Amino acid sequence: MICLSRSLWRSLSVKDQASLSALNVRLVRTVAVDTDFVVATSLRRTETLMCAICRGISVLTNEWLVRSLEAKRLLPVEGYELKDKAAEEKSGMFLSDALSRAKLRPFLLGYEVFLSARIVGELRRVAVQVVEAGGGFLVPTG
């Protein structure tokens, strides 16, 4: 199962979607436990990438997807891992290191997380997804 960033969903043609389906690829919009890869254009703090990082799911460049479509088969992922030097320097973390650590142990495994009542709507929904992806538990606020 491959999860695409929002911008890639918009740019993927119906023909490309059919080609991927013929390769037995299931495309999804959100990261799940059985997601194999996330394909993104850059490293940003989106729900998709944050959940992928928390779960230790490999994040690949769009080039991998394009080259796989050209080859009419899924290519090995080596060499197509997302590297965004500017974003990594700005955030003070390296994606490859974070993914390696998360594969060994999800970031929030065993932690209880409290979300303030002020966190509402879409922001709350995303926060819950990230906490759960990281193996954490939400403290009831009732």
Helix and strand totals (H; E) in the chain? 7, 6
Per residue of the chain (142 residues), what is the pLDDT tens digit?
888 877 777 788 889 888 988 888 888 888 888 888 999 888 888 888 899 999 999 999 999 999 999 999 999 999 999 988 998 889 888 988 989 898 899 889 999 999 999 999 999 999 999 999 999 999 987 6
Q: Are 58 and 45 in contact (CB under 8 A)?
A: no
Pinpoint the residues of the chain covered by CATH 3.40.50.10190.
Answer: 2-104
Q: Does the 2-104 domain belong in CATH 3.40.50.10190?
A: yes
Backbone angles phi, psi at 137, to 5 degrees: -125, 140
Q: Are 6 and 46 in contact (CB under 8 A)?
A: yes
Radius of gyration, CA atoms only, the chain = 16
